[in-house]
Amino acid sequence: MLRLHNTASHKLEKFKPIHSGQVNMYTCGPTIYDFAHIGNLSVYLLSDLLKKYLQFSGYKVLDVMNFTDVDDKTIKASHAQGVPLSQYTQKFGQAILDDFDKLKISRPKVICEATKHIPDMIKLIQTLLDKGYAYQAKDKSVYYKISAFKDYGKFAGINKRQLKTGASGRINSDEYQKDNAGDFVLWKAWDKDDGQVFWDSPFGKGRPGWHIECSAMSMKYLGPSFDIHLGGEDLIFPHHQNEIAQSEGATGQKFVNYWLHHGFLRMSQKKMSKSLGNLYTLSQILEKVPNPMAFRYLILTSHYRKALNFSFDILQSAQNTLDKFSNFIARLRQQQDKSLDTTDNQAKTQQLIDIALTAFTDFMDDDLNTPQAIASLFNFINQINKMIDNAQVGPIVAQQVLDFLKKIDKVWAFIFPDKKFDPKNEDATQIGNIIKQRDLARQNQDWSKADNLKQQLDQMGVEIQDNPTGTSWKWKKQ
Ligand code: AMP
Ligand code: ZN
């Protein structure tokens, strides 16, 4: 049974969804004012892993992610370029979807842009005003009154009295307009810096604050109470605390059952962030290590709650490990024309698969313990390699192993090379045929033909080895 570390309780908790067989989850998505950096992407890899593992475990998953396409940063950047806001943000929204595709992050079922949900936000703000959780200040902005929410600060472990400066987050509103420094903006009244960016509302023209966006959109698609909410750990306070105050203030119901937070991706031991300027985008790292799966694999080798220190050395060693998977698959495919299958070998393999599957689910059920789950995968591969060494693997056994790998690769999505991004995408049968032609040419002492065929394999990224028992091949190092 799946257990998840819940930030709300600081404990591992057994996972039980609200609706049996169905999981509703929400991930705080990117602010689309620039290209995402690989720290941002690590959070979305976590959402993707969790979604894939829930699906693997038999759940239906409804996953929602927001795109923040209006805030100080997007407005400022679009003004600087002299283009309308939506035109400006569209490009970055598309860029992150391209990154998702490269990393095999399956796109969330619902991707919701803030600017397309302004009426939902206005409605929620109105409810908070009606219930006494919000007030309109002299500057016409509407603020959340944190003193009205009994448990404000509890989720983040922050005492209300300790709140000196604001939970106002990303909106720089004038502090003196608020009753309390911790009060945060729900609706920011228009000012001249906003230019053409504003919406009409019962509270006057303006735009929504960042926090209300996530409350309004998550509840719209997932209901007032849902199962899992995810984000980077920097969002615990104030953003997630504020989401709780808004949603629970408005509905009187528990907002989210399980909160998951991803540890920071770091560079030279510092958080990777735009403000420190120590970031890489996916495109930048692909210039050095071209296979996107290396990054996916690297992120998954570390437990999601731990900070991971990024370097190109560890990215390259992730790629080297992926090469081992590819060569293992190549090795299995070369067993396809060897008559080595026996019922004993098949039974033995099935036993190894059962053990590997149990290890995989046990570790993943333990708060997505990916490093251990990957270690158990290596254990399995080593044992099958031994069977190949001992001439115990023919086509049936090879297929048993490949089927198992395909099954767990629905979650990992890094074992089988991606045809689009990995040069190791050639068909094993085609490679086998070229090798056979070369063998024939060598038998006929047609050395120039044999050389040509060897060169052809070389260009496909294939390295051959002539052994007394025949020719075997593997992928060349990238
Ligand atoms: P932003 O685009 O700044 O709203 O951030 C999008 C997501 O990336 C949020 O969930 C952040 O918590 C997360 N995030 C930002 N920097 C990092 C980092 N260095 N490591 C992990 N997550 C991060
Ligand atoms: Zn959010």
458 lines ligand 1 (CB under 6 A): no
Question: Would strands 60-67 and 22-27 be described as parallel, antiparallel, or unpaired?
Answer: parallel
Query: Looking at residue 219, what is its pLDDT?
Result: 98
271 lines ligand 1 (CB under 6 A): yes
C-beta neighbour count of 77 within 10 angstroms: 16
Q: Is the C-beta atom of 273 inside 6 A of ligand 1?
A: yes
Six-digit token string for 280: 């890489």
Residue 161: per-residue pLDDT: 64
Q: Quick check: CB of 43 below 6 Å from ligand 1?
A: yes
User: Residue 226 corresponds to which tokens in the numbers above?
Assistant: 């849902």
Residue nearest to atom 6 of ligand 1 (CA): 30
- Cβ of 461 closer than 6 Å to ligand 1, yes or no, is no
**What was the pLDDT predicted at 174?**
42
Regarding the beta carbon of 229 and ligand 1, being less than 6 Å apart is answered no
Q: Indicate the SS3 state at residue 50.
A: helix
Whose structure tokens read 């115990």?
A: 392
- Between the CA of 43 and the centroid of ligand 1 the distance, in Å, is 7
> What atom of ligand 1 comes closest to residue 30's alpha carbon?
2
- State the pLDDT at residue 181: 84
Query: Which residue's CA is the nearest one to ligand 1's atom 2?
Result: 30
Quote the ligand 2 centre to 214 CA distance (angstroms): 5
Q: How far apart are CA 4 and CA 83, in angstroms?
A: 44
Q: Give the per-residue pLDDT at 162.
A: 67
Q: With beta carbons less than 8 A apart as the criterion, state whether 70 and 115 touch.
A: yes
Between CA 40 and CA 120 the distance in angstroms is 26
pLDDT for residue 276: 87
Q: Which residues of the chain have pLDDT under 50?
A: 166-175
Quick one: which atom of ligand 1 is closest to the CA of 31?
2
According to the model, what pLDDT value does residue 175 have? Answer: 46
The protein residue whose alpha carbon is closest to atom 11 in ligand 1 is 232
Per the structure block, which two tokens stand in for 320? 């080297």
- Burial label for 206, CB within 10 Å (0-12, 13-18, 19+), is buried
Q: Identify whether the C-beta of residue 444 lies closer than 8 Å to the C-beta of residue 428.
A: no
Of ligand 1's listed atoms, the one at least distance from the Cα of 232 is 12
Give residue 423's pLDDT.
Answer: 66
